[in-house]
Chain A
């Protein structure tokens, strides 16, 4: 970097020397557009380094100009004008907006505007209107289907639930797969923080949905959003950029009369897919009704006598809150079924109302943008909600022609309540879907009276404890989950980005930019006494999470023409970044008072409380430089490098990148080829990285741990406390993991820029991937965090847009995108697999497979791949686990259609995902429970058949089940099969025969119709500039072979595992109406 300093000084001297050679004059002038002065427009004497920048009045003064000089007047987004000076001393210029080019201005990773056509790497740009129009209450989901190679998956339909963003596939195994978010030039935390205690407070496989902090941004505050997919575009961010970078620019005020805009949106949401539940067979086993039985393999409901059940009035009983009394059933007569009623008990029509008010204005020296947003959302599950308040104030001030300042400040508060889900005995869906169809989940809370007359208040009644006779009902009644349990979150976040700009000359600019981003998230989890599982003693837990990021950049930029054909821009900068965080957890259990009021006073026994805290700090600093050469208005070469030192790594690391763009249509030979209006070939190469996690270098100790051999945990803190040597082995030799990527592509525009096609091929290899690599337990450790794995991604991205019609009344266009990412885990340093998720079907990294491979017990097979069959011709599970499927799609694509006729516009967006497998484990487990519709069929046997236990069923028997042939002749799949190898839990289940083989889906992601009213009456009588009405449908239609659940769902939320669903709260579809009034 010292070289560039020398060069600058050299240029300085050259400039000074230059001045005496010609007869000189001073000229003044102004640069404006139709609306007024263009502050910051550059006026350059062509072929020299002489130039200046317009002041706040759009005025400039230039010394040392000769009559032969030509001035080039530039402003980004406008058509450049050249003017011969001649003998004029005053030159006023009006620039025209470049309609085509305006779209093509992109914001770089450092927050500066760049002309897209000059870049050798790919940028996807998503416009603010497109995000707002999508109708998603959260920002991330609004990006779905809008850019090639960007995969957005929301794990479920819970209000505010986090969503995962993947750019060009997964780029790391152990670390976060989420991209770096840069807002107005400063990194913003997009944390997805799991609960600290799995299950109780929402870990990866149980608990509740957690939020993505990127969603804290109000979509209405966003001016533009760019996705920097390649390593080259992102490499200035070094070890933060391996997952790509999303650059967000917030709105700026506009000078002139204040613009007041008010927008209100109302949304109605409902469940997207429902699991089909059978209504034919009752609770019980072996064809017999049994009270409190886990399964619904009981009697045929239609065969019952009908009428009321016979009960015993003289023993124990359950009296519900409204006085309804339930007695022990002595004879099950009723033929009533309740699957729909039980569903309606906890599901509702969800809705949200969002208000957005913004005020923008200012004078020529200073502008401001103020916004207030308020979102109140009630989810489709009772008592799930998400209330958000956003405030933002952006100010830009130009003090004089060389000094400017801006400050962007925002505050958000989010309060929400989440519903327990997934692998979790207190989960709503688990309790609901396992409920026997002949059990009525009403009267979920009440008092149990034992046969001896003792009373037990606030007991829970559920299908496995229908009189509430036990403290632990095994599974929660779904309404207990929604109405008695609490899982709240209260987020407060404050971000401020002050920036100082100094423009001493036309070719030199300094930017000093700071940023502080702080949030706290207080999460409370309350399980009253008599909740399911070990929580029946009552648990109140609280996590307080705080994160802070401080960032500072000092940047110097220069730009000058070396001669008529060569322009050189350079940037050098320094970055300092510090991230700190703290998580505290408090818990009390075993309440002495049985009530639904969450307070630490519920127990006074100190032994029943526990505390925990974790904390981290990581700091990095980086010097970086960037040189861009523009040659002959045809070729652009960009070179950059960042030298980074970080607290988590021992040495400095260097991240280089290079890209080149050649606008070949500038060659004269293309002048007469009218079809091709623009053509660019581009290539880029770069390195980016992932920093090691903080504090992984030492082997330390665990304090107050708990261990189990299988559902039988012992907790050392209850035995006087103690320590153990950590099962994670420290590693003092960590390096960043490095992703090296190249891409080649072309941008082509035809027919006067009406048809545009962008094509990119990329390949990246990620080496030294950091992860907790399992080590043989016999070493005394389970894991060591190491640079251990290698992985590659390759794929193709195509973006297409076509303006079919564009005239004063009509605009009709289509857009489309396509991506096929192919990921392969190349090496795991000897380990066969790395678990990304846990659970019976896990999502793993397996050498030779795509990341996320589904891993579980599988059928024992013969050498030729056919199923190995037992004596009864049934397959059985082998003893070793293995890969049973790949959840990665073969390709993904989106196609959009937009039409505008006068003030009426229509947008339609379809998204498609092709291929991949999906472990819809809810269905598999419901086979075991006998509640799934698939296991409610009756079959009349045409021949003697055996079931999995070898029991012979003679021809003519009528059996609940199905006939199947595994290759050894027909066999009977009945209760014995579905409750052992063919469904349910455990290591004997043959998962590879049970998961869904084709997870392809197509969604009508978005359809919206809007009408804008801006007639004279409105403008003159009501003084409103416009009123816009919009109706939007979100995820209205879905085509897929997957039954009962959205194949995008994920049990693991925003984490690295995916492709598995297990009683995950369902997804939604919505209809929204919005009204926007602009004053």
Chain B
């Protein structure tokens, strides 16, 4: 009788032994959502914020340090300013581009399944914007093979090819936007789904990249469809309660946190150019930069000391009327004639003279931007004291205006590299070196650490900070 007891117990033991049945289907995540169930537009805001960080974040500040616009006073920014740029410094920007923007916009497009041409076009413009930025900053970059399931090491495409593909993508975006119905997309924190503004932005981006590849006549025609008024600028607009971090001007956030004291405009070439009392000042009878100088000062002390471009709620410019007008001016002067260039420059100066670009703290400060006349650029004229050719003198003034107006965008860094060749040295802004020992200026950002470590297709030998990218050869 006793034995039955054991047999029963043995049986119990074996019934359950190592069953996969007991453990099946418990590995599905308990809190995170699958992308399948999320509406496409819900991925847009995050992608746009990542694009903000790619356009007006760390890499943008580095470009400012390398073009005489900003001074690095302490910590990382001091080292970068002294031309020590390690591969870890570019990591976050690269990540925002390749993870923050592109997979998200492509996911949106894939979820649209051919519907919603407006959102489709917006996503294409965003991809073109961020990939164009990546190509101009880093040179050859992965593009054709990115975000492909099962592909582990995307190959690096040539910079010029990427930029050509960006132009094609913008053409597709424009086609989509043209056919799109007008609508409102509340997740679009740039334009709220305004089709017209996105179209103008697409054309302005085309002009931007044609300028960088020195296709000036294409740039000129693209810019004519570009952003037509400053109120159509693609800006990052900070929002929210004061002192809640995470939704504010990125320069403000930086300086109001642990980076106080590290970076600002004090002592920079840019500052000296605007400062009416500076020795290298560009102020003269027709130009008073007092208000713009004060507005465009970044006080390194801390965030709250800033009331201008780096103040808490100040919008940050990403694709602008200013840039578009100055592309018209430069490309017009180069490919049409002197008067065309001058006309666009004066149109732009008339805009400046409205003071509309200043915020409330500075629009009552002095400013003057009178029209230039041809004589100003003739030998001995206001803008040609050193008697260079009239056309070159005009271009030099347009380039300097791009350098000033482009503060806090990549335009000064892009122009500096575009115009560094001997044939353009007469019109380029003469950016000083940051250290006494430097002999050449940075020509790109170095590839990030993680991509170097993990991508077998990383260019070898690795280009350094001073290796000129293809389009600027």
Chain A interface (Cβ within 8 Å of chain B)?
1, 5, 12, 294, 425, 470-472, 474, 502, 504, 508, 510, 533-534, 536-537, 554, 556, 572-574, 576, 589-590, 605, 607-608, 613-623, 643-648, 651-652, 694-695, 697-703, 705-727, 774-782, 830-833, 857, 870-872, 876-881, 949-950, 979-980, 984-989
Contacts and interface: CB of A to CB of B under 8 A. Distances in A.
A714 B246 contact: yes
B53 A711 contact: no
Contacts of A573: 13
Contacts of A871: 437
A707 B35 CA distance: 19
* Residue from B30, B187, B189, B253 having most chain A Cβ neighbours under 10 A: B30
B257 A781 contact: no
A647 B26 contact: yes
Interface in B199-256: 239-241, 243-247, 250-251, 253-254, 256
Contact of B23 (A621, A701, A703, A709): A621
B276 interface: no
B94 A777 contact: yes
Interface string B138-179: 000110011110011110000000000000000000000000
A572 B22 CA distance: 19
Contact of A984 (B31, B33, B75): B75
Interface in B78-122: 78-80, 82, 84-89, 92-96, 98-100, 102-104, 107
B18 A652 contact: yes
Given A714-B52, A830-B454, A950-B437, A779 B13 contact: no
Nearest to A622: B18
Given A709-B93, A712-B57, 14 more contacts: A471-B243, A574-B14, A709-B53, A709-B92, A713-B245, A718-B244, A722-B42, A776-B450, A777-B448, A779-B147, A879-B87, A881-B86, A881-B449, A988-B82
B98 A780 contact: yes
**Which 3 A-B pairs rank lowest in CB-CB distance, beginning with the nearest?**
A709-B57, A988-B79, A715-B246
Contact of A713 (B186, B253, B450): B253
A978 B24 CA distance: 59
A110 B251 CA distance: 60
Given A648-B27, A698-B34, A986-B76, A782 B99 contact: yes
A651 B19 CA distance: 10
Interface in B1-41: 2-3, 5-6, 9-10, 12-14, 16-20, 22-24, 26-35, 38
B45 interface: yes
A778 B154 contact: yes
Contacts of B50: 707, 724
B243 A774 contact: no
Contacts of A775: 152, 454
B88 A881 contact: yes
B46 interface: yes
Interface centre among A622, A708, A727, by most chain B C-beta atoms within 10 angstroms, is A708
B184 interface: no
A1055 B75 CA distance: 28
B16 to A, nearest CB: 5
A699 B42 CA distance: 17
A700 B76 contact: no
Nearest to B60: A709
A725 B46 CA distance: 10
Contact of A709 (B58, B142, B452): B58
Contacts of B279: none
B84 A589 contact: no
Q: Which of A12, A722, A876 has the most CB of B within 10 A?
A: A722
Contacts of A725: 35, 43, 103-104, 107
B454 A720 contact: no
Contacts of B247: 714-715, 718-719
A984 B148 CA distance: 42
Contacts of B186: 720
Nearest to B76: A986
12 contacts: A590-B241, A621-B16, A645-B19, A712-B254, A714-B247, A720-B189, A723-B35, A723-B46, A778-B142, A779-B146, A781-B103, A782-B450
B240 A607 contact: yes
B44 A708 contact: no
- Residue from A608, A714, A857 whose CB has the most chain B CB atoms within 10 Å: A714
Interface in B377-407: none
Most chain B CB within a 10 A radius of its CB, from A533, A652, A720, A778: A778
A574 B47 CA distance: 50
B49 interface: yes
Contact of B98 (A472, A723, A774, A777): A777
A101 to B, nearest CB: 31
Contacts of B182: none
Interface stretch (B258-266, B284-292, B322-330): B258-266
Contact of B49 (A425, A716, A727): A716
Contacts of A576: 16, 22
A776 B154 contact: yes
Contacts of B29: 695, 698, 700
B250 A712 contact: yes
Contacts of A780: 98-99, 102-103, 146-147
A776 B152 CA distance: 7
A439 to B, nearest CB: 17
B456 interface: yes
B125 to A, nearest CB: 18
B74 interface: yes
A615 B151 contact: no
A712 B450 contact: no
B22 A617 contact: no
A880 B49 contact: no
A879 B53 CA distance: 23
A617 B57 CA distance: 39
Contacts of B88: 881, 987
B96 A724 contact: no
A618 B148 CA distance: 31
Given A709-B59, A712-B53, A645 B20 contact: yes
Contacts of B9: 502, 510, 556
Interface string B427-450: 000000000110000000010111
Contacts of B151: 779
Interface string B332-372: 00000000000000000000000000000000000000000
B53 A776 contact: no
A725 B256 CA distance: 30
Contact of A833 (B13, B79, B154, B453): B453
A724 B102 CA distance: 11
A141 to B, nearest CB: 34
B302 interface: yes
Contacts of B18: 574, 621-623, 643-645, 652
B309 interface: no
Contacts of A720: 45, 186-187, 189
Contacts of B61: 710
Nearest to B9: A510
A948 to B, nearest CB: 10
Contact of A776 (B241, B455, B465): B455
Given A707-B53, A777-B98, A294 B93 contact: no
B194 interface: no
B123 interface: no
Contacts of A645: 18-20, 22-23
A643 B16 CA distance: 12
Given A621-B16, A709-B96, A879-B446, A718 B31 contact: no
B54 interface: yes
A608 B2 CA distance: 69
Contacts of B450: 774, 776-777, 782
B426 interface: no
Given A472-B302, A707-B100, A714 B49 contact: yes
A872 B98 CA distance: 40
Nearest to A709: B57
